[in-house]
Every structure is written in C-alpha cells, then in structure tokens.
Amino acid sequence: MRTALLQVKDELGVDAVIMSNKKVAGGVEIVAAVDGDSAAAKSSSSYGSRPRAAQAQTQTQISPSLAMREESRQLDDDRVSLNASAENGRSMTKRFASMLKQYSNSKGGYEEPEAAPGEDSLTALLKRQHSLRNQTSASDIKLKEDSPLARLIAEDRRIERPAPKLDPSRYERGQPREQAVSNEELTDMREEMTSIRRLLEHQVSGLMWQEVERREPLRAMLIKRLERMGLSSELADQLACYIPEDTPPKKAWKALLGLVADQVPISKQDILKRGGVVALLGPTGVGKTTTVAKLAARAAMEFGSDNVALVTTDTYRIGAHEQLAIYGRIMGCPVKVAKDSNELADVIYQLRHRRLILVDTAGMGQRDVRLSEQLDTLMQNSDEVIHSYLVLPATAQRKVLQETIDHFKRIPLSGCILTKLDESLSLGEFVSVVVQNALPVAYIANGQRVPEDIVIAQPKYMVAKANDLLEKSADDEPHYWNSEVERF
C-alpha cells in the first residue's frame, strides 16, 4: 500500500485524489485522479509517456489475477492522457468520476445524483460523496474490523509506524507521567539518607571532639565533668572556656564550680520579710502544699499567727483543702477557699490586714488544658499584686523542667522554689535550667519536716550539693576521674 501511494504521488503529483482502493490477489488496486485546473497549470512536460507506462506497470504488479484483468482492460480503455490541455483534464476527471460511479453501483447498489451542468467535476464529486454520507446510515458505511480494507489499513499502520524508542506520552501535556519509583521506595530512600546523614554527623562530631581533646585536654575534661553533673552541653562549653589550659586539674575544677555558682540567679527579696500575697504554682505532686505550710509556720513563729493567712484554690480534687486546713488549725491561721477569680479577690480583700497571705493553687500538669483557667484566676479581678513562685522538684529531668517553665511563664514569675532535694541523685539539671532561663531561686526544701526542712537559697550551697551528688555517682565507676575537691 505504501509503495502504491508513492507511485501515485510520483505519477500524478501531490494534488492527486484517491477515489478508491481495494486489496486484490497479489497487490492493491488504487483508483486516483487529479483536479483538472491543477493539472492544466502544470507544463505538459511534467507528464510524458511515464504515466501510461507506470500505470501499466503498477497495474501489472498489483492486479495479476484473472478476475481483475477484465476490469484492468476496462480501465485501460477509459484511460486518458495526463499531458492534455485543461479541457482534456476536465474530461479525464469526468471519466474517472463515471468509472467511480459504475464501480460504486456495482458494489453498493446505489445511485449518485447527477452533477449540475457547468459545475466542476471534482466539486460535483465531493458534493455527491457528502450527500451519500448523509443518506447512508452509519452501519452501512462503517468498516468492519474483519473486512479486508480494515486489515489492510491496520497492517499499513504497523508498517509505517515503528515502535518508538522513547515513550511519547512523557511529552504529552495534561497527562501525568508514570513515576519510575513508588512512594514506598521513596520513603525508604529518604529514611536511608536520613540515617546516613545522622551517622555522618555523629562521625564528624566525634572527629571534632577528638580534635578538642587533643589540642585542649583540660577543657575537654571539664566539659565532660559538667555534663555528667547534669548541665547542658552548651552551658558546659561556655563555662569551660574561661579556665586557662595550663591550670592544674584540681584547681581548674574548683574554679569552674565557682563560675557555675556565680551564674545561678538568687531572689534578692525574702518572701517572709517582704510579705504581701504570695502564690505557689507548679505541677501535681511537686510539694506546693507542704512548702506553703513550711513558709506559714516560719512566718507565724516570726510575726505571729494573726499576721498569716492561708488560701487555697484547689477545688478540683475531693478533700484537697483538708491538708492545708489541718496545718492552719495547728498554727492558728485562718484558711479560706476560692473557687474562681472573683472569690479570690473577695478573700484577699477580707484578709488585707494580714502581713502574709499564702495562696496554694491546684496542682496541674504543664499540659493540662485547665492550667490556663488556673493562671487566669491569679491574674484577673484582683487589686492586690500577687507574687507568683514556681515550685520545681529536683528529681525532674532537664527537659521536663524546661517545659514546665515554658508553660507557666505566661504569667510574671517572681522566682522559683526547689523541692525534694533529699530525693534527688543529681542537681545539675535544675542549675542548668535556672541559669539558662534567668529564673531566681528563693528557697530550697530538702525534706518533709515542717518547718525545719526549708532554707533560703544559696548558690554555693547548691553547687556544692551538685558536686557531692556527682562524686557519689562516680563511686560506681572507678575509671572516672575524681577531682577530690573539698566543699567551699
């Protein structure tokens, strides 16, 4: 089919019109014509005796069967010369149209309307074809898949269109390109890259630390010592930089502890001496009620029970205020309950003549949704200035302490109170948090006895206690360096 089309194009030119095609035994039969006007415009030399010879050759090649020889002789009788004038070209076109009509009548059994007089034969032929398509149903003109022509067209398409090496759909706009890698494979790849990155970071940090140990062994030893005490690596690195490298180890450690003590913020005003309204805040179980009882007992011993009053806002737990009420009866101090901010303002106004009013708040975790309501109770509808102190246990981890400060610092904090020092195995975490947040320390509670186990915070005492806890933990590790530094 492709060769036949090329021969028609070579013989009749690009203006040739395919009238019909048919597959026969040994080849393909094609009936073609050319518009008379286009044929006349070309020189007669463009068409010599070649069309006749080529057409005969093609006819001989593609129509060898005996059944088609009779039709070939009929076509030879009606064949006209293509190098005639424009008038002869129109006559030739009419002859081809007549032959097509006869051929169509023999195949389909229908008649085409006659062309109007004086109308161009090619135009009339196109009109007849258009009229024929409108009159014939779709089922009559639709090619069946098993017809010879359909098979011929499909075979020709397979021959003319070889399989492309690249997928053309990747260049089509509007159609998503098929991904080469699935989502699971991408996820696995990301995880693997992340693990490799962490491994490289660990190796690089190890190499950098080895370089520090090689060039500054004293500084590296002091940093490790502070980290083992509980301080953060950032704070330990900053403080160790102030110690000269040629300092003896014992002297260097003692000097470093002095630097740590200088960094610990201490509350400048004593709660008992200043007086006023003092509220203790903190998570559940940090020792707020016991600390309130210790402060109230000391104030009652120093100023008298008539100058001290206790207030609780813990109405969430059953019998929550009973413990504070027992302490109040023992000390002879009044105990009031405030459910909301309005009642708290009224109670504080009633007790305005007291020297010290201690407010015990409900214990709530830093992630409790009711914490905001508890804090709003202290901030709203009160004409008196409330000094809020955050109670922090020494047994908590550094991250827990930091999170607690972050959630409670939405209200102004006057300072903090350290509790449960007697239960702790390390104090460096608390020291690191208060230094980094610049939160003053007011009192230190180191037991359950009321009122004995509470003292005013002293930075040297805190650092010495942290060093003692470090030395005790190092007893189980003989290989670890022991400074043997005395308390100062």
Give the pLDDT score at 473.
Answer: 76
Around Cβ 47, how many Cβ atoms within 10 Å?
19
Q: Which of 27-41, 299-313, 416-430 has the lowest mean pLDDT?
A: 27-41
- Identify the band that residue 149 occupies on the pLDDT scale cut at 50, 70 and 90: low
Do the beta carbons of residue 98 and residue 105 sit within 8 Å?
no
Alpha carbons 417 and 440: distance in angstroms, whole number: 9
Which residues, 6 or more positions from 394, have their beta carbon under 8 angstroms from its beta carbon?
A: 418, 419, 420, 421, 423, 424, 427, 430
Q: Which residues in 92-206 belong to E strands, given as ranges?
A: none
Angstrom distance (rounded) from CA 411 to CA 199: 42
Average pLDDT over residues 329-353: 84
Is residue 110 over pLDDT 50? no
How high is the pLDDT of residue 374? 57
Both structure tokens of 429: 């975490």
**Is it the case that residue 440 has pLDDT exceeding 90?**
yes
Task: Determine the average pLDDT of the residues in 449-477.
Answer: 84
Residue 135 CB-density burial (10 A; 0-12 exposed, 13-18 middle, 19+ buried): exposed
* Cβ pair 313, 374 in contact under 8 A: yes
Measured distance CA(450)–CA(18) in Å, rounded: 115
- For the chain, give the mean pLDDT: 73
pLDDT digits over 152-202, tens only?
666 666 655 555 555 555 545 544 555 555 777 888 888 888 888 888 877
- Cβ-based neighbour number of residue 188 at 10 Å: 12
Q: What is the pLDDT of residue 417?
A: 93
Q: Which sign, positive or negative, has the C-alpha torsion 71, 72, 73, 76? A: positive
Query: Residue 129: pLDDT above 80?
Result: no
pLDDT tens per residue across span 277-300: 888 888 888 888 889 899 999 988
CA–CA dist 435, 226 (Å, integer): 14
DSSP string, 258-324: HHHHHHS-B-SS-HHHH-EEEEEE-STTSSHHHHHHHHHHHHHHHH-GGGEEEEE---SSTTTTHHH
Q: Note the pLDDT of residue 41.
A: 47
- The pairing of beta strand 276-281 with beta strand 16-24: unpaired
Q: Tokens 């230190």 belong to which residue?
A: 444
The pLDDT of residue 145 is: 53
Contact 34, 82 (CB under 8 A): yes
* CATH for the stretch 271-457: 3.40.50.300
- 39-64 confidence digits (pLDDT tens): 444 444 444 444 443 443 444 344 44
Express each pLDDT in 230-253 by its tens digit: 888 888 888 888 888 888 888 888
- CB-based contacts of 151: which residues, under 8 Å, 6+ apart? none
Domain boundaries, the chain: 2-160, 271-457
Identify which has the larger pLDDT, 310 or 313: 310
Please give the pLDDT value at position 483.
47
Which pLDDT belongs to residue 314?
75
Average pLDDT, integer, range 68-80 = 50
pLDDT at 187: 82
Which helix (H) or strand (E) is 27 found in, with range?
strand 27-34
Per-residue pLDDT of 192-235, as tens digits, reads 888 888 888 777 766 666 666 677 778 888 888 888 888 888 88
Q: Give the largest Cα separation in the chain, rounded.
A: 142
Instruction: Give me the helices (H) in 161-248, please.
Output: 183-215, 217-229, 233-240
